[in-house]
């Protein structure tokens, strides 16, 4: 990926551009999240690893664009943007996704591998059960009050923001669209990628049990690793240094090469 290509893309953000990076890590935000969520990770991994963060439509500087409420369509669009931006540009690429972003990281990896391109060297799936582990849910059909309560239950959002009606008027339609996408997502146990998978999970995450996190092992032909942290759905905010360390350790052999 060239600097100009990344700067011109509405979909891809580089907070610490590093042309000499030995690895690029494409990061996929959670439901309701935005590219800037990965600014701290970008700062921590630079300059050895350059973070390329995905910006979905409907948020921040793309807030006037309609949201995409289908995981398949989102994955197709992101895959096309990564190809157009030449995400690898001669260096290995890894994927990191949290919650809904973990599903998208997996789906984009599938698309890259199926078309015969060089796939990600590793996929990090954070805060999400395996694609084949379905739980029925209809949060996207509920009232705004229920959506706000869901945000409060999962954490990761300042409670003062949840009381800001003007801000919630902007955030809730995006969150509802993302929940619609991920709650309607289905994937069978036969959908497998070649890339090794590292799963990161919180031991008190209401959306992912230990068994559901372990089940990611059935979706890779490569090696599998599971790292469990204390905390709920947004455990990575409490363990930023440890999460970064897990990523660095997993990518270490590739970086040394």
Q: Which residues are catalytic?
A: 99
- State the Cα angle at 141 between 59 and 151, rounded to 5°: 55
Nearest to 120 by CA among 132, 109, 104: 109
Measured between alpha carbons, how far apart are the two ends of the chain, in Å?
Answer: 20
Q: Is 178 in contact with 31 (CB distance < 8 Å)?
A: yes
HSE-up (13 A, CA, CB side) for residue 97: 29
Q: Quote the radius of gyration of the chain (alpha carbons, Å).
A: 17
3-class DSSP assignment, residue 200: strand
Torsion of CA 163, 166, 170, 171, to 10 degrees: -10
């Amino acid at each position: 990926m060239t600097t100009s290509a990344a700067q011109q893309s509405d979909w891809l953000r580089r907070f610490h551009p590093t042309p000499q990076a030995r690895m690029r890590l494409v990061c996929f935000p959670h439901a309701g999240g935005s590219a800037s969520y990965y600014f701290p990770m970008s700062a921590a991994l630079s300059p050895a690893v350059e973070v390329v963060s995905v910006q979905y439509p409907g948020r921040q500087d793309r807030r006037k664009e309609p949201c995409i409420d289908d995981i398949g369509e989102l994955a197709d669009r992101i895959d096309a943007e990564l190809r157009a931006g030449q995400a690898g540009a001669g260096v290995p690429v890894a994927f990191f996704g949290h919650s809904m972003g973990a599903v998208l990281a997996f789906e984009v990896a599938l698309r890259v591998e199926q078309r015969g391109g060089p796939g990600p060297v590793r996929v990090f799936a954070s805060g999400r059960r395996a694609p084949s582990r379905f739980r029925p849910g209809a949060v996207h059909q509920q009232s705004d009050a229920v959506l706000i309560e869901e945000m409060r239950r999962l954490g990761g959002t300042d409670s003062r923001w949840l009381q800001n009606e003007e801000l919630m008027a902007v955030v809730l339609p995006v969150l509802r669209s993302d929940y619609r996408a991920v709650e309607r997502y289905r994937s069978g146990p036969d959908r497998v990628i070649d890339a090794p998978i590292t799963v990161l999970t919180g031991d008190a995450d209401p959306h992912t049990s230990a068994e559901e996190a372990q089940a990611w092992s059935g979706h890779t032909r490569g090696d599998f690793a599971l790292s469990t942290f204390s905390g709920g759905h947004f455990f990575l905010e409490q363990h930023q240094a440890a999460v970064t360390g897990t990523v660095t350790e997993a990518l270490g052999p590739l970086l040394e090469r």
